[in-house]
Structures are given as C-alpha cells and as structure tokens.
Amino acid sequence: MKRLCVFAHWDRDNIIDRYVIYYLKALREVCQTIIFVSDSDLDSKELSKLDGIADYKIAGRHGEYDFGSYKRGFSLIQNSGLDFDELLWVNDSCYGPFYSLKSLFEKMEKEKCDFWGLTEWNFCPVCKNGIYTLKVDNFHIQTYFINFKKNVTNSTAFNNFINSITSLPNKNEIVINYEVGLSKILFDSKFVGKVMFHDKNSSCNTPLDNAIIKIHDFKFPLLKTNLLKNEYLTQTKIDKIINSVCKQINYDKELISCHTKRMRERIPKPNFYRKVRYKLLRNCSYITKYRVILFEKALFKVANFIFFNKLKKF
C-alpha cells in the first residue's frame, strides 16, 4: 500500500514546534511520502528541521487555512506525477500520536469504504442576519485526519472541490463550505465514508473529559491542541491534564507543556461575567453552551442597535 500524506501547518510565531516534528516522524510509519505545507513564513532554519522527515516542503502565507495547504499539496502531487494508492490529510491541530498509527490503518484497510476519518462532527454553523447559529445533526467526517482512496482523489467531484478552495472571510465559512462541504460532496457522489471513533454514546459533557477518556479507554491516538487553550484553565490544571494524558503512555509530556505555555502567553484572562457563566455552564452539554453564547450575541446586537440609534439623534 503506497500512502501519501499532505500535512497542513500553521504557527503564530512562524516556527515548527517539537510536537509537530514528533507527529511527522510517527506518520512516517504509515506513509511513504510526506508533503509538508505551511501557511506560515518559515525561514530556512525552521524548514531544515524537516530534513529527513518530509519529502517536500512548501511554506508561505496563503490565508486559506488548512484547506489551502491541502490544495497546494495536491497540486504538487499532480504536477510531480507522484504515484499513490491512498492520500492522507493531516493537520497540526493535535498532540500525539500516543499509540502507533499502524493498527488504525490495518483495521481500516479491511473496511469497505472509499474514505475514512478518525471522528465525525454533528454540528455546523449557519449564518442568520449576520450572526452564526448552530445547525444540529449535520453529519460530516472531520478533516484534521482523513484518508482517501484513489478512486476518490481521481473523481471529478474531489478535483472540482479542490480547485474551488479559496480564501474565505472567517473560520465559520471554512467549516460550512469545506469541512462540511467535502463530506456532502463525496456522499452525494455515492462514495462510502466511515468513522473510526464515535462520540455519540459518550456520557461526558466537556470535550476535554471526553478526549481523555477516549485516549485511555479506547486508545484514541490524538488530543486536540485547542482543548488546552481554554482561558479558564489554570496552569496547575493543565499540568494535571498533561500528566493524566501521558500516564502509562510513551509520550514526552514536555512536547505538550512547552507548546501550551507558548500559546497561552497571549490569551487574555476572562472577566467576572465570563467566569460566572463558565461555572454555571461547566457541566452542560456542548449544544447548550453554544446556544447561550449565541443568545448573548443576539442580545448584544439588539442592544447595540437600539442604543446606537438613540445616540445618533444627539
């Protein structure tokens, strides 16, 4: 099986962090070719970190998020005539892997499907009157780790999708058009997609608790980096989480610790109202939390409209 990986990268400080290097080395176990595409301005010193790890390196700001990097990687594949049986898309939004990826691919090679991912998501943002609300039960396979067989990548539907990728105004539009859009296009084209890990039966309300349980009980290989960027988490709490995640797992916890500390340097502390809201909603479901935030946005928008119009008369 000849598998090719396009790895999408972005870093605020224009560096390739150590956890990314570890991830790429682990991908070498299941991929014969790795194309590293960064949406950051990386200098030659940073790119040299990939020597012997990535076969191709592309770096430079394009502003099209991960999908812009996937597009550039796929273009390189076509222009270079690289041969492959499967195409894997991965981005740098996760720590890990905590377990070998070989068993995942061995299991999914036996499945009758055209493409597969680690997880699904059942929510999609929808814009109404300038405010993004949430649509439930909009199933799609998440693209931070997604594998395609060649019949998919050779299809007109997939190629039209890739060629349509461009810069969009915000992340919500990226999710609507590309994250959700890709699954819809492939399902509409009668391709069979499957998911390896499901969250529907989880009893956890918080994504972080759910993630830790999946890692330990179901050998889920990754941890999303944004779960440790939560403004309400203290460094002591984060250290406990990192120790819990890495307990009995052969993974250097400093890879997570160093990155989270760097990322959290610019995270503002929450005000009193946000702290109270967090405590009240801490054990509520994801959809409840999201709806409360959307209600707040709508309320502030109405209040701004009323008071701003009154002030304009003076």
pLDDT at position 308 is 55
240 forms bridges with which residues in the sheet?
none
Q: Which of 64, 20, 77, 28 is CA-nearest to residue 46?
A: 20
Same-domain pairing of 179 and 57:
yes
Q: What is the pLDDT of residues 282-312, one digit of tens each?
A: 667 666 766 777 777 677 777 766 665 554 4
Same-domain pairing of 17 and 111:
yes
Q: What is the pLDDT of residues 270-285, one digit of tens each?
A: 776 667 776 777 667 6
- Cα gap 194→9, rounded to integer Å: 25
Tokens 């972080």 found at:
208
Stretch among 114-118, 183-187, 247-251 having the lowest mean pLDDT: 247-251
205/280: higher pLDDT: 280
Report if residue 258 sits inside a domain. Answer: no
Q: Which of 109, 82, 113 is CA-nearest to residue 6?
A: 82
pTM of the complete model: 0.88
Q: Is 290 helix (H, G, I), strand (E, B) or coil?
A: helix
Of 184, 201, 218, which one is at a domain's C-terminal end?
201
User: Stretch 219-231: mean pLDDT, rounded?
Assistant: 93
- Cα gap 266→269, rounded to integer Å: 9
Q: Is the pLDDT of residue 246 over 50?
A: yes
Mean pLDDT, all residues of the chain = 89
Same-domain pairing of 175 and 281:
no
Q: What is the pLDDT of residues 168-194, one digit of tens each?
A: 999 999 999 999 999 999 999 999 999
Report if residue 214 sits inside a domain. Answer: no
Same-domain pairing of 298 and 193:
no
pLDDT at position 243 is 94
* pLDDT band at 128; cut points 50, 70, 90: confident
pLDDT at position 205 is 59
Same-domain pairing of 183 and 69:
yes
Tokens 């076969």 found at:
55
- Cα gap 298→129, rounded to integer Å: 10
- Cα gap 38→92, rounded to integer Å: 10
Question: Considering the chain, what percentage of its residues have pLDDT values greater than 70?
Answer: 88
- Cα gap 41→178, rounded to integer Å: 24
Please give the tally of structural domains in the chain. Answer: 2
Report if residue 211 sits inside a domain. Answer: no
The answer to whether the bond into 270 is cis (omega within 30° of 0) is no
pLDDT at position 314 is 37
Same-domain pairing of 162 and 286:
no
User: What crossing angle do the helices spanning 253-264 and 235-246 adopt, rounded to 10°?
Assistant: 150
B/e letters for 223-261, b = 16+ CB within 10 Å, e = fewer, are bbbebbebeebeeeebeebbeebbeeeebebebbbebbe
DSSP 268-289: PPP-HHHHHHHHHHTTS-HHHH
Q: Which of 185, 120, 131, 123 is CA-nearest to residue 158?
A: 185
Report if residue 253 sits inside a domain. Answer: no
Same-domain pairing of 189 and 297:
no
- Cα gap 80→231, rounded to integer Å: 44
- Cα gap 119→104, rounded to integer Å: 13
Report if residue 228 sits inside a domain. Answer: no
Report if residue 302 sits inside a domain. Answer: yes
Report if residue 264 sits inside a domain. Answer: no
Determine phi and psi for 122, rounding to 5 degrees: -115, 20
Of 179, 201, 223, which one is at a domain's C-terminal end?
201
Same-domain pairing of 282 and 169:
no
Report if residue 152 sits inside a domain. Answer: yes
Residue 278: is it exposed, middle or buried by C-beta count within 10 angstroms (0-12/13-18/19+)?
middle
Same-domain pairing of 191 and 286:
no
Please, what is the end-to-end C-alpha distance for the chain in angstroms?
72
pLDDT at position 287 is 65
How many CB atoms lie under 10 A from the CB of residue 159? Answer: 13
Q: What is the pLDDT of residues 37-75, one digit of tens each?
A: 999 999 999 999 999 999 999 999 999 999 999 999 999
- 54 to 3, 21, 76, 153: CA distances (angstroms): 14, 10, 14, 21
pLDDT at position 313 is 43
* pLDDT band at 85; cut points 50, 70, 90: very high
- Cα gap 310→297, rounded to integer Å: 20
How many CB atoms lie under 10 A from the CB of residue 149? Answer: 17
pLDDT at position 247 is 86
Indicate which CATH number applies to the domain containing 173. 3.90.550.60
Q: Is the pLDDT of residue 201 over 60?
A: no
Of 173, 201, 229, which one is at a domain's C-terminal end?
201
Same-domain pairing of 195 and 284:
no
- Cα gap 291→112, rounded to integer Å: 37
Same-domain pairing of 105 and 191:
yes
User: Stretch 90-108: mean pLDDT, rounded?
Assistant: 96
Same-domain pairing of 44 and 153:
yes
User: Stretch 88-92: mean pLDDT, rounded?
Assistant: 98
Domain span at residue 66 reads 3-201
pLDDT at position 306 is 64
